[in-house]
Amino acid sequence: MNKKRQICILGSTGSIGTQALEVIEEHSDLYEVYALTANNRVEQLAEQAHRFRPAAVVIANEQHYDKLTQLMSDLPDVKVYAGSKALDDIVEAGPIDMVLTAMVGFAGLSPTIHAIKARKAIALANKETLVVAGELICQLANEYHVPILPVDSEHSAIFQSIVGEDQNPIEKILLTASGGPFRNCTMEQLQTVTKADALRHPTWDMGAKITIDSATMMNKGFEVIEAKWLFGVDAKQIQVLVHPQSIVHSAVQFQDGAVKAQLGVPDMRLPIQYAFSFPRRLPLSGERLDLFAARNLEFLEPDMKKFRCLALAFEAILKGGNMPCILNAANEIVNRAFLEDRCSFLQMSDVISETMQRCTFSNNPDYDTYIQTDAEARRIAAELLQG
Ligand code: NAD
Ligand code: MG
């Protein structure tokens, strides 16, 4: 019998993490959880550990360590660790075959680098890692011969569309976007929308940060940057199409004009499972696409004036260097502030834009530059918010 693939999930208590566990449960003959990690949700983490019996659990926030050891006291075989350094260490564990990066934000960068250097395959959900340091990550993946398998639904769709096309360059990527809950709002309405409005996403059920990023369309801007690095294209070759039905998950156009797309009902378990099983396809329970029912498939130009974050993301990637890192850091600050009612919807892009102008630019950043840039941009954005 073949050995089961050992998977480490960074961020197992989140939206992607819990759906990944469903996939693993459905294919428990193929996959096994080696390690589970979370930031704060210690009870849920312990509960998952009791169900999946990993070799180790890590709680990033050290304040929860005692609680976690208490909750795990009846499972002495499961090692319990805490702290962000422990995340860097756990991904290197010998038996791990694949690391799913399903945590939020800049915090994903360091463990992803450690996992690549330990030659673990990466199932990448944490897009912020590629936004911040796409060039470095791709370089390392190349150097260590590590595959990076996209989990983001659009990038999985593109990845699925280029299978068997190794010799054929991509002419253009057609990156679809739901448009989020404020697609039809006027500029005036956008002045007063609230976090509760933003958290009602029309087609996808996701974590709070990415839901806000979807409402501002910064998420799509991040995905442009993510696609550039994953598929080696220029940002100018990526076209964003607002497609409110979220059925065409994205498409690729080739040199002969052929367009290949992947379609399906919105269900993140498919791209998660495909990242695990590539190049195989495995059975997946759930709803099937009914094209008769989905009669109207619309594709619209995004409004970059209303959704200025998308324009700022294009600006950042065209500028290059550490500018996308600045973009990400400022966005993390305003995203959190919006969730805590300390920032209005339209103020978010103002602060990001201003931070991009003020923060020290570096054309040729290395890892240390990213750490410094992230800290500086966060400081500037926070100051701007305080006015
Ligand atoms: P979520 O908020 O639901 O879950 C985040 C997980 O990461 C939790 O387990 C949390 O404990 C952990 N975490 C948060 N901050 C951490 C830190 N500083 N250190 C360690 N662990 C930390 O988020 P999500 O919606 O599952 O998104 C996870 C990632 O996947 C994000 O980068 C997001 O952009 C990306 N993504 C999500 C979806 C989706 O459908 N939810 C789709 C595409 C991409
Ligand atoms: Mg996406």
Determine the pLDDT at residue 170: 98
Cβ-based neighbour number of residue 74 at 10 Å: 9
Residue nearest atom 39 of ligand 1, based on CA coordinates: 206
Structure tokens at 141: 């993946």
Tokens for 244?
């409110």
CA of 258 to the centre of ligand 1 (A): 35
| pLDDT reported for residue 311 | 98
Going from the Cα of 368 to the center of ligand 2, the distance in angstroms, rounded, reads 28
In this prediction, residue 141 carries a pLDDT of 98
- Per-residue pLDDT at 259: 98
Strands 248-254 and 238-242: unpaired
What spatial distance separates the first Cα and last Cα of the chain, rounded to whole Å? 63
What pLDDT is attached to residue 1?
56
Q: What is the pLDDT of residue 201?
A: 76
Residues with CB under 6 A from ligand 1: 11-17, 38-41, 60, 102-104, 107, 125-128, 152, 204, 206-207, 209-210, 268
3-state secondary structure the chain: CCCCEEEEEECCCCHHHHHHHHHHHHCCCCEEEEEEEECCCHHHHHHHHHHHCCCEEEECCHHHHHHHHHHCCCCCCCEEEECHHHHHHHCCCCCCCEEEECCCCHHHHHHHHHHHHCCCEEEECCHHHHHHHHHHHHHHHHHCCCCEEECCHHHHHHHHHCCCCCCCCEEEEEEEECCCCCCCCCHHHHCCCCHHHHCCCCCCCCCHHHHHHHHHCHHHHHHHHHHHHHHCCCHHHEEEEECCCCCEEEEEEECCCCEEEEECCCCCHHHHHHHHHCCCCCCCCCCCCCCCCCCCCCCECCCCCCCHHHHHHHHHHHHCCCHHHHHHHHHHHHHHHHHCCCCCHHHHHHHHHHHHHHCCCCCCCCHHHHHHHHHHHHHHHHHHHHC
Q: How many CA atoms lie within 13 A of 92 on its CB side?
A: 11
| Listed residue (182, 170, 208) closest to 310, CA to CA | 182
Task: Determine the residue of 43, 210, 267, 336 to mutate for testing ligand 1's pocket, defined as the one with the most ligand atoms within 8 A of the Cβ atom.
Answer: 210
Distance in angstroms (rounded) separating the CA atoms of residues 356 and 251:
31
C-alpha 97 – ligand 2 centre gap (Å): 25
Rounded CA separation 214/234 (Å): 23
Task: Write the residue with the smallest CA distance to atom 22 of ligand 1.
Answer: 39
Block residue for tokens 């994953």:
230
Residue whose C-alpha is closest to residue 176's, from 163, 164, 158, 202: 158
Q: What is the best residue among 8, 103, 112 to mutate for testing ligand 1's pocket, by most ligand atoms within 8 Å of CB?
A: 103
Both tokens assigned to 212? 């806000």
CA of 15 to the centre of ligand 1 (A): 7
Pocket test for ligand 1, best of 59, 65, 104 (most atoms within 8 A of CB): 104
Q: What tokens were used for 89? A: 């260490």
What pLDDT is attached to residue 29?
98
Q: Give the span between the Cα atoms of 330 and 382, in whole angstroms.
A: 8
What was the pLDDT predicted at 253?
A: 98
pLDDT reported for residue 295:
85
pLDDT value of position 204: 77
Whether the CA torsion 186, 204, 15, 227 is positive or negative: it is negative
Q: What is the pLDDT of residue 367?
A: 98
* Ligand approaching nearest to the C-alpha of 127: 1
Cβ–Cβ under 8 Å, residues 37 and 65:
no
Encoded tokens for 258:
């052929």
Closest ligand to the CA of 157: 2
- Give the tokens for residue 353: 């834009």
pLDDT of residue 289: 97
94-118 in b/e burial notation, b at 16+ Cβ within 10 A? Answer: eebbbbbbbbbbbbbbbbbbbbbeb
Q: How many CB atoms lie within 10 A of CB 153?
A: 22
Question: How far is 356 from 383, CA to CA, in rounded Å?
Answer: 14
- Per-residue pLDDT of the chain in tens (387 residues, 90 and over written 9): 569 999 999 999 999 999 999 999 999 999 999 999 999 999 999 999 999 999 999 999 999 999 999 999 999 999 999 999 999 999 999 999 999 999 999 999 999 999 999 999 999 999 999 999 999 999 999 999 999 999 999 999 999 999 999 999 999 999 999 999 999 999 999 999 999 999 987 777 899 999 999 999 999 999 999 999 999 999 999 999 999 999 999 999 999 999 999 999 999 999 999 999 999 999 999 999 999 998 899 999 999 999 999 999 999 999 999 999 999 999 999 999 999 999 999 999 999 999 999 999 999 999 999 999 999 999 999 999 998
- 261 C-alpha vs ligand 2 centroid, how far in Å? 15
